Amino acid sequence: MAGRKALILAGTGMLAELAEVLTREGWHVVLPCRRYHPLDCEVRPGAAALRALRRPGHRPYRPGAARSRGEGKAIWVEAHWDRPRELAAKAESALRGPADLLVAWIHEQYRRAVMGAVAPLLAADATVVEVRGGPSGDPPDPLLPLHPTQVVQLGTVSAYDPHRSLAQAEIGEGVLEAVRRALAGHATSVHQVGQLRPLVR
């Protein structure tokens, strides 16, 4: 997956774990959202200088060493859902080329406008993962039908404990699983994460 580009549209920090996984696997990840959320995989100030310090006897170059680490990059850009064209322009500048993957968890009010604005930023063979919140009957058709789409339908309570709300970790695991299916070339499908309503006893 090294060298590929991903665009993740979600609230601040909501899909941070997914961004970290993709970055560690060599993806160039762009995260437009309102506020900055630091990622554990990001390069901190001074990290390059620390990496340059080597133990005595270190050989300065070994062919293929840089590629083997599979390090990608995560870039945050300030953006607002209610300004979709501006968001798309900033995302395009940060991507520096067509995105191979779009993951979108957008408030329903802005979903159609934002998805329409970023659609031209996708590569022709890009895959899409749409995260939809709350029970709403049958899941709606994907907004970008030209791209294979994995729809993640979020329930209201945990799949493990019907007495507690759906946890962020469960959502992250479900979205990552959908991303893996998308990248493996699976056809458009729907994935339920959590339960739609508490179980009746």
Tens digit of each residue's pLDDT (9 = 90 or more) over 84-95: 999 999 999 999
Say if residues 121 and 7 touch (Cβ distance below 8 Å). yes
CA distance 159 to 96: 39
Within a domain: residue 60?
Answer: no
pLDDT at 12: 84
pLDDT at 18: 94
Question: Would you say residue 70 has pLDDT above 90?
Answer: no
Strands annotated E in the chain: 5-9, 28-33, 73-78, 99-104, 122-132, 149-154, 189-193
Question: Would you say residue 51 has pLDDT above 60?
Answer: no
CA distance 159 to 197: 10
Q: pLDDT, tens digit, for every residue of 127-174?
A: 999 998 765 555 667 889 899 999 998 888 777 777 778 788 888 999
- Classify residue 195 by its DSSP letter: B
CA distance 23 to 39: 10
Q: Is 9 exposed, middle or buried (0-12, 13-18, 19+ CB in 10 A)?
A: buried
Neighbouring-strand partners of residue 128: 102, 149
**Angle at the Cα of 80 (from 29 to 168), degrees rounded to 5?**
60
Average pLDDT, the chain: 81
Within a domain: residue 13?
Answer: yes
pLDDT at 154: 87
CA distance 107 to 101: 19
**Angle at the Cα of 171 (from 165 to 197), degrees rounded to 5?**
40
Within a domain: residue 157?
Answer: yes
CATH of the domain at 182: 3.40.50.720
Comparing 87 with 193, the larger pLDDT belongs to: 87
Q: pLDDT, tens digit, for every residue of 81-134?
A: 999 999 999 999 999 999 999 999 999 899 999 999 999 999 999 999 999 876
Structural domains in the chain (count): 1
Q: pLDDT, tens digit, for every residue of 5-32?
A: 999 999 888 899 999 999 999 999 999 9
pLDDT at 143: 86
Where in the sequence is the domain holding 20, given as residue range(s)?
5-43+67-193
Within a domain: residue 154?
Answer: yes
**Angle at the Cα of 71 (from 70 to 72), degrees rounded to 5?**
115
Within a domain: residue 199?
Answer: no
pLDDT at 10: 93
Say if residues 121 and 89 touch (Cβ distance below 8 Å). no
Say if residues 29 and 75 touch (Cβ distance below 8 Å). yes
Q: What is the DSSP string of 115-127?
A: HHHHGGGEEEEEE
Comparing 68 with 2, the larger pLDDT belongs to: 2
pLDDT at 147: 94
